[in-house]
Structure 1
Amino acid sequence: MNDGAKIDEVTAGDSSGLFLAGEKITLHSFCPSDQPRLLRDFSRARYEVFALEQGWTVLLEISPEELVQVRRIIIAQNSHGEVIGGIYLSSIETDEGATGFSIELKSFFVCPPYRSLPVTGSRQGGLGRLLFERAFGEAKLLDASLVCYSTGLIEAAIIGLNNGFRIVEVFHLGGGLPVRTLVAMAWAPKSSLASQRQRRMQRRLLGPFDARRFLIGFLQKAEQVQVRRPEIGS
């Protein structure tokens, strides 16, 4: 098996291997060599293409339960159909209004040869915390923050800016690597009164949660955030 899994069957898409938002594909045999057990339950999962931008595709698992208590993984592929990495979520729970989320990050991986930065793993707990101190030297975000290192991924973008997250910074990692951005978001804990009021207001204003609409909005807003280049440690 190749280090980078390939999508060897498609249910939609053109001959170039590129897909459009809303199209569906079938992913086969996705198992990075260094994570042999990570995705064993996803060998024939169906994924929906949520975004295609500059050759990178974000895929989201399709489930009849929508976004409630569903095991899912967000992965990315390049324009050649190679899966280059992803993030595994153990659960995604919605509150009664389906606009507030509790997420637990379980594992993050980048398939070779894209594992070029000195990134070693994730910290878990509560919402989850994914800080790459070795890549940035020093973590400067709150403990209740979520940092997503992205090689074409828009991890956690399904959450949406209107679900307790805000973009703190968008980093361009550069270095000639085929990467997009690092997205840093801050989370208002569910237990806080401010967060409860916020979700009640969201339910009144927004109605049912629309993952695609929030993702598209996230991508549009992320591009408007000022980009700065961090100092990447050795």
Structure 2
Amino acid sequence: MSDRDPQARVVYDYPEDRLVGTVLATGETFATDDPRRMAEWLFAAGARHGRVLMPDWREGDISPPKGDKIALNYRLVQLGMDESARRKIEGIKPRSPWKTRYFVDTEFTSFENCQLISIGIVGEDGREFYAERTDFDQNACSDFVKSSVLRKLGQFPGRAMPFAQLRTELREWLEAIPTKPKPVLSYDYHGDYELVELAIGGSLPAGWSHENVSGKLDAERLAAFVAEHAGEHHALFDARANALAFR
């Protein structure tokens, strides 16, 4: 099989009102009425955007509705960009034998009424944390946040949760990080650090330190990552960008 041959096929089961996907190499099938779930199943099975057949009526099959096609392909694109970004981050190694940096970024409602929306942390050792809050006040969001941040939420299934759960999971993640080499929470905006403290209800766990690295990020590498992975204004993608751009 060449790198352009189809890897999967998706048709629409009209009587059942669902999508049916088939991995061509194995014959394995999956059925769902959710195009995003179909995309995630296909991706996990090895199918990538541009290599999923969705035949039309001229081929004797009922084609998936246009909206489902768009949603399925968009989700495959998102998953592909995430995979590509993770591969780049995995190539990063700690810059110092004495400490490991963990780059953090947050999204929040507004400067005037600041409530945490999401948080992403990316370590030089490959560890990552990401969570979205479900109970922030959307009325507190600025127009910019409504147009540029909220539409990028929901890309990671299972990572949206109430604030209390986010606090617990973030605390546990931070406390599980080894303290040798010394873990350093790195940010390019001090407000990100303040939101981390707010999220965990106090200071960082014992053994952690923190630093502002805004003057140590390579602007060209940062811009290149954002342009390739559409990462700006998403906490995890922005944290990955900073991890890659640090010099």
Q: TM-score, normalised by structure 2?
A: 0.27
Q: Which has the higher helix share?
A: 2
Q: Which has the higher strand share?
A: 1
